[in-house]
Amino acid sequence: MEPISFRTPLALLLISLSAIAAVWWWLAMPITLARAPIDPNAKLMCVSYAPFRGAQTPLSPTTHVSAEEIAQDLEQLAKITDCVRTYSIENGLDQVPELAGKAGLKVIQGIWLGSNRLKNLAQIATVVHLAKEFPDVITSVVVGNEVLLRGEMTTADLAATIRSVKAQLAVPVTYADVWEYWLRNREIYEAVDFVTIHILPYWEDFPIRAKHAAAHVDDIRRRMAVAFPGKEILIGETGWPSEGRMREGALPSRTNQARVVSEILELAKRENFRVNLIEAYDQPWKRELEGTVGGYWGLFDSGRRAVKYPPGIPVSNYPAWKLQMACGMALSILVFGVGWLTLRRRPWKPRLASWIAVGIYATTAGSLLGVAADKVFYESYGVAGWLGWGALLLAAISSPLLCANALMAGRALPTFLELLGPKPGRTRSGLTVILGVVLAIAVLIGSETALGLVFDPRYRDFPFAALTMAVVPFSILTLLNRPKDGVRPLAEAVFAGLLAGAALYTLFNEGKDNWQSLWTCAIYLLLAFTLWQGRAVQIPE
């Protein structure tokens, strides 16, 4: 028994640790850009600025950002740009022009328009006053931001509002919207002094890959210059998110954000056009409206106000990869340790397949633990979000450990009847109950996310990493220790059908270019197959 109980698992453990190291070396491979997004020798033309940090949100009318916080931000931004673009004068943003002047910054001042006419008039009056009070700071005024896109004003009302504001100001006046809406509402062109377009390759109806984003921006800019000759075209928003879900082939990531911003800035310099980046700081509150991806468009993070891409430092998607790799290796060792300790208490010799299965558990969990934890950190929003994703991560960590124990002990994956069915059929094994609870958590959260991707997919994240950590051990345990008789439980059959149906729909809906979707759907199908194999029998202790 000695060769199979010591040498084989030791060899498999070394293979597992090597595989984990190789995966993390590949995941964390940095890129070096020809032009850094933040270049100390060349300031940015302009960046969108919203001062909200932490729990602050403009969605609450009681939110008021202090002058001290805004002044700190603007002092920091003055080191990297000559201009900031604002969108409103509410929540303390009316303080920006005065504080920007003290910091040596110019302001493209926004007027937020909506369906409330009285509120619109109040915003206009305040901005007119600010423009007259700070004529050397406010260089232009944006009358409305994407109000046509949101359908909150008619084209005629908007044009009339722009002309009314122009009559009261000496600075240039414009309107800002997604580029397609300028083409659909050409009469706005006659009302403005220059055209402000938003080009966000990630959010296009047909999403653009990061490597093509800069070329797409230039192509749209040239197209708009032909459509609206005689007036300057300002790219009022462009950029790329650093976190969030894929849209077809468009992948949010740190390296992609740095690459896209760098290439757009280089293009603007070469072609000599003005561009405003969205945005200065990550805005966590946007996640309530746009999901994870909405909160991570900033050049600086929200909490520490630290630049994401310090000049001269290669950019990696996982800056803390060494710690993440070490945690994954520790989990791998722990999985092997659980398998070995379980075997010590059993008199029989394990099959080679069992140790190989433990090796797969350990390698899968060890390789994905850092990715799963990273996703929990960035994708959890609010108490419910932290509880949900935290529970899935806990299940993902527990699954390989409990399945290694069950595999070596000769136990099968429990059914829901063994947990919640009639008392005579319930399991009395504490470890089996815990494994059943972990299975239930994975199934419930997996089903909830699967349904979300069917009925409300636009802002939903793909839980591929944590779900893989949990489901792979379940499936292998079922394959090797599956009961040979019994009936298929109704609950497992229902969940299997739900997961399979949702996976097939999502595969069709998301397309073949979205690897996050392909991976997640493959795990949904694997979980569905695992549940379908379940048999309602009492497992003898």
pLDDT digits (tens, 9 = 90+) for 24-45: 999 999 988 877 788 778 899 9
* Residue 301 is assigned to a structural domain of this protein: no
Q: Using CB atoms within 10 A of its CB, is residue 110 exposed (0-12), middle (13-18) or buried (19+)?
A: buried
Q: Which domain holds residue 454?
A: 2-26+318-532
The predicted structure's pLDDT at residue 351? 78
Task: Tell me: cis bond preceding 204? Omega within 30 of 0 counts.
Answer: no
pLDDT at position 343? 83
Instruction: Identify whether the C-beta of residue 185 lies closer than 8 Å to the C-beta of residue 148.
Output: yes
Total tally of structural domains belonging to the chain = 2
Last residue of a domain, one of 295, 310, 338: 295
- Domain assignment present for residue 540? The answer is no
Answer yes or no: do 368 and 492 share one domain. yes
Same domain, 460 and 422: yes
Residues 474 and 333 in one domain: yes
In a shared domain, residues 362 and 377:
yes
Q: What pLDDT does residue 1 have?
A: 41
What distances in angstroms separate CA 445 from CA 246, 381, 393, 407, one per listed residue? Answer: 20, 16, 11, 24
For residue 151, give the CATH number of its domain.
3.20.20.80
- Same structural domain for residues 192 and 330? no
DSSP classification of residue 275: E
In whole angstroms, give the CA distance from residue 315 to residue 261: 13
Residue 303 belongs to a domain: no
Q: Are residues 339 and 357 in the same domain?
A: yes
Residue 85: name the closest of 103, 111, 59, 53 by CA. 111
Residue 4 has what pLDDT? 54
Whether 307 maps to a domain, the answer reads no
Residue 224 shares a structural domain with residue 353 = no
Q: The whole model's pTM is what?
A: 0.92
Q: Do 97 and 17 reside in the same domain of the chain?
A: no
- Say if residue 10 is in the same domain as residue 52: no
Q: Tell me, what amino acid is at 448?
A: E
Sign of CA dihedral 32, 299, 238, 210: positive
Distance CA 219, CA 197 (A): 13
pLDDT tens digits for the chain (541 residues)? 444 556 888 999 999 999 999 999 999 999 888 777 887 788 999 999 999 998 899 999 899 999 999 999 999 999 999 999 999 999 999 999 999 999 999 999 999 999 999 999 999 999 999 999 999 999 999 999 999 999 999 999 999 999 999 999 999 999 999 999 999 999 999 999 999 999 999 999 999 999 999 999 999 999 999 999 989 999 999 999 999 999 999 999 999 999 999 999 999 999 999 999 999 999 999 999 999 999 999 999 998 999 998 888 899 999 999 999 999 999 999 999 999 998 877 656 667 889 999 999 999 999 999 999 999 999 999 999 999 999 999 999 999 999 999 999 889 999 988 888 777 767 778 898 999 999 999 999 999 999 999 999 999 999 999 999 999 999 999 999 887 777 888 899 999 999 999 999 999 999 999 999 999 999 999 999 999 998 876 544 4
Would you state the pLDDT for residue 347? 56
Contacts of 323 (CB under 8 A, 6+ apart): 370
The answer to whether position 236 is within a domain reads yes
Predicted local confidence at residue 536, as pLDDT: 73
Q: CA-to-CA distance for 437 and 448, rounded, in angstroms? A: 16
Shared domain for 36 and 22, answered yes or no, is no
Asked if residue 50 belongs to a domain, the reply is: yes
In a shared domain, residues 376 and 438 = yes
DSSP helix/strand/coil, 323: helix
Residue 112 to residue 124: CA distance in whole angstroms: 9
Whether residue 337 is contained in a domain is answered as yes
Same domain for 34 and 143, yes or no, is yes
Burial label, 434 (beta-carbon count in 10 A; 0-12, 13-18, 19+):
middle
Which is nearest to 294 in space by CA: 186, 171, 176, 381? Answer: 381
Whether residue 541 is contained in a domain is answered as no
Q: Which residues contact 320 (CB under 8 A, 6 or more apart)?
A: none
